[in-house]
Amino acid sequence: MVALYTLLSIARCWAFCDACESADVVREYPLDPGEVEPQPQRSSRRPRPVGLAATLAYRFAGAIVWLQHVRNRRRDLAHLLESLILIFVGVGLISAAAITDMYLHRGVESGSVQPYVVQPSGRELSTNVDMRGLTVEQIDSVVGTLKNSGYGFVRHEVSWAEVEAAQGQFDWSVYDPIFNRLNESDIGVIAVIVDSPEWSWAGTMIPSDVQPPADPAVLENFSRELTSHYPESIRFAQLWQMPNLASRWGGVPATGESFRPYLSATFYGARDGNPEVQIILPEAAAQSDVPEGLGDIDFLQSLYAAGARDIFDVAAIRLDGGQSSPDDRSVNAQRLNFSRAILYRELMVSNGDGEAPVWATSFGWSADGENVTRDQQAEYVVRGLQRAWSEWPWMGLMVQWQFTTVPGDPEAPYATAPDGRSTPLFRRLHDPALIRRSDIANTGFTPMDADSLHYEGNWADQHLEGRTFRTTGQTGASVTFEFQGTGLIGFIRTGPQSGDLKIELDGEVIDGGAGDGLWSYYYQYQTNDFPQRLFANLEDEAHVVTITLAEPGQLTLGGMVVERQPPFIWPIMMITASGVLVLLLGLRSFIYLVAIRAGHLTRWETMSSPELPRMPDWIPERQR
């Protein structure tokens, strides 16, 4: 079979060869050169690339070749350019990190830096409301809605002209059903004195919508009557609405110097009527209505310049979100946005008043239907609250601009329930999750009488250094604290009387290092109330911690500090470190160039290499 297959193959090849010869086919071998066709004459210009990417690559490559050519011909100039580029890039990275950090973290505080801002209240939901003119049934309905919606405070105007129409005769009939019903529902009142009776005016005052009294002493007397008549309802008193407007201060806008006597009268009068009342500065308009008037920032500064620091407890801002979202972190005195509150904080710190809180006594966005819709309004308000709770321990109550309005009210776009109608904002604020977030402790210092602390067992109050301490000697007594943050610091008294503690976090017992996993703050020789770090590096979410006196002794607490580390710190640190490294390389390169030009160093390219020793001629003998 093999022989037959071989013969057939030879026959096929012979036949193929004959066919090729008959057809005059020329056999070619793989290495034979083919016919050379004439080539067109090439242009001296280089071909241009086609397409944007190819063009960019072509030009980039050309730039590299040019730079290399310049570097070879002008070494010192190239060295200088390289050094300057490195320095420029390094400075640019450091500047970019600084600008980014300023934009993201301006006004942001962790809550753990002393002195702490001690808020005179929690951060419950609160709103402006005006129930004058409502019937008792309507008042009950509004207060019931506020209570069921989780509101802890309302800000309500009080017309001095209405209460004391005749000097020395006080008629509280309009306010009694309102404030008493609020007190029964455990809703605190921020009372705002908004006007003065005609009998108190000076005869030479310029006519305006609202005028102050000529003698601050009569305002002091009214403030005393107000707080003494409502000792349980009114917890905060605020004087006037936007006195930096000429239309609201007798035709001439108030300054810190002219307003100070009235603020002092309110402070001492209200405290005389009820020592527990806190005094809030008035809201100021962002811009005055006359050229000589002061804007809100300048008005606050003028109050400090006039020496008003010791006659108020809380600064107030009229915080209009404008047309931008709460994520707008630009801070500018001419810009109307949520971050404007940071200017208040910075001004207060610069005046040595960093312990005083700031409250947004009118807060919200106007849902005009064009720039901000009702749905956007709801989203912005909730996100604004959450941002303040997390980032601004110096910000206390944020009072919704208006709860309800009547038809035609110009403030209806700001209202939570305009004309008594439910809106997306009303529904979002009514969310149980948001209400719980407002009730628990957020970033900053929490006093021991806050609503976020719940006690079991026998506890007693101690008032030391202007603070309230809670102490117990009952074994098994405990305190439960709800907070949201990434860390927790507790003012736990150490000393010879301190008993061992058991601490639980989110239901899990945490080992404190003492016997049986307890925490010991026993100290034999001295008693101190220093802050003790309990937890760090937690998830930024709601937590529950329980502290129990587990062994005989005493447990005394002076406050809790919720800590929250600002986000986006590591990227900024990495950019800064990279910028510093590049800058150092650039400076090193520049110093090296200067040293070469000065003759202190020799360029490495011109250095002669040492001559190597020559080996003698040697041929190994051939092995036999």
Who's near 102: CB < 8 A, 6+ residues apart?
none
Q: How far apart are CA 624 and CA 617, in angstroms?
A: 22
Note the pLDDT of residue 32.
Answer: 47
Final residue of a domain: which of 562, 588, 607?
562
Query: pTM to 2 decimals?
Result: 0.82
What CATH number corresponds to the domain at position 290?
Answer: 3.20.20.80
Note the pLDDT of residue 614.
Answer: 67
Mean pLDDT of 159-188: 97
Whether 19 is in a domain gets the answer: no
Residue 210 has what DSSP assignment?
S
Who's near 378: CB < 8 A, 6+ residues apart?
423, 424, 425, 427, 428
Q: Is the pLDDT of residue 618 over 70?
A: no
Q: Is the pLDDT of residue 550 over 60?
A: yes
Note the pLDDT of residue 38.
Answer: 54
What CATH number corresponds to the domain at position 466?
Answer: 2.60.120.260
Range among 59-63, 198-202, 359-363, 466-470 with highest mean pLDDT value:
359-363
Mean pLDDT value across the chain: 88
With bands split at pLDDT 50, 70 and 90, how would you rate the model's confidence at 13?
very low
With bands split at pLDDT 50, 70 and 90, how would you rate the model's confidence at 606?
low
Q: Is the pLDDT of residue 26 over 60?
A: no
* Same domain membership, residue 160 and residue 236: yes
Range among 46-55, 92-101, 277-286 with highest mean pLDDT value:
277-286
Note the pLDDT of residue 489.
Answer: 96
- Positive/negative CA dihedral, 575, 579, 582, 585: negative
Helix (H, G, I), strand (E, B) or coil at 519: strand
Note the pLDDT of residue 478.
Answer: 97
* Same domain membership, residue 187 and residue 86: no
Q: Is the pLDDT of residue 9 over 80?
A: no
Whether 120 is in a domain gets the answer: no
* Same domain membership, residue 423 and residue 350: yes
Q: Is the pLDDT of residue 555 over 60?
A: yes
Rounded percentage of the chain residues whose pLDDT exceeds 70: 88
Q: Is the pLDDT of residue 360 over 60?
A: yes
Whether 605 is in a domain gets the answer: no
Mean pLDDT of 188-217: 89
pLDDT in tens, 564-585: 998 888 889 999 999 999 999 9
Final residue of a domain: which of 419, 439, 459?
439
Final residue of a domain: which of 510, 544, 562?
562
Mean pLDDT of 417-445: 94
Note the pLDDT of residue 27.
Answer: 44
Note the pLDDT of residue 37.
Answer: 54
* Same domain membership, residue 298 and residue 413: yes
* Same domain membership, residue 460 and residue 426: no
Note the pLDDT of residue 608.
Answer: 59
| Higher local confidence (pLDDT), 68 or 371 | 371
* Same domain membership, residue 258 and residue 214: yes
Note the pLDDT of residue 521.
Answer: 92
Q: How far apart are CA 473 and CA 481, in angstroms?
A: 19
* Same domain membership, residue 581 and residue 484: no
Count how many domains the chain has.
Answer: 3
Whether 48 is in a domain gets the answer: no
Mean pLDDT of 588-603: 84
Q: The domain containing residue 551 runs over which residues?
A: 448-562
Whether 347 is in a domain gets the answer: yes
Note the pLDDT of residue 57.
Answer: 84
Whether 9 is in a domain gets the answer: no
Mean pLDDT of 270-280: 97
Mean pLDDT of 516-527: 88
Whether 604 is in a domain gets the answer: no
* Same domain membership, residue 187 and residue 334: yes
Whether 585 is in a domain gets the answer: yes
Closest CA to 118 of 582, 449, 463, 360: 449
Where is average pLDDT lowest: 59-68, 146-155, 392-401? 59-68
Q: How far apart are CA 172 and CA 398, in angstroms?
A: 28
Chain center to CA of 610:
65
Where is average pLDDT lowest: 52-56, 100-104, 172-176, 483-487? 52-56
Q: Is the pLDDT of residue 298 over 80?
A: yes
Beta strand pairing call for 460-464 and 467-472: antiparallel
Q: How far apart are CA 423 and CA 404, in angstroms?
A: 11
Q: In angstroms, what is the C-alpha Rg of the chain?
A: 40
Closest CA to 394 of 362, 357, 419: 357
* Same domain membership, residue 86 and residue 131: no
CA dihedral of residues 517, 522, 524, 530 (deg, nearest 10):
140
Q: How far apart are CA 561 and CA 312, in angstroms?
A: 24
* Same domain membership, residue 338 and residue 468: no
Where is average pLDDT lowest: 294-303, 397-406, 463-472? 463-472
* Same domain membership, residue 539 and residue 514: yes
Q: Is the pLDDT of residue 522 over 50?
A: yes
Closest CA to 239 of 286, 285, 294, 280: 280
* Same domain membership, residue 346 and residue 376: yes
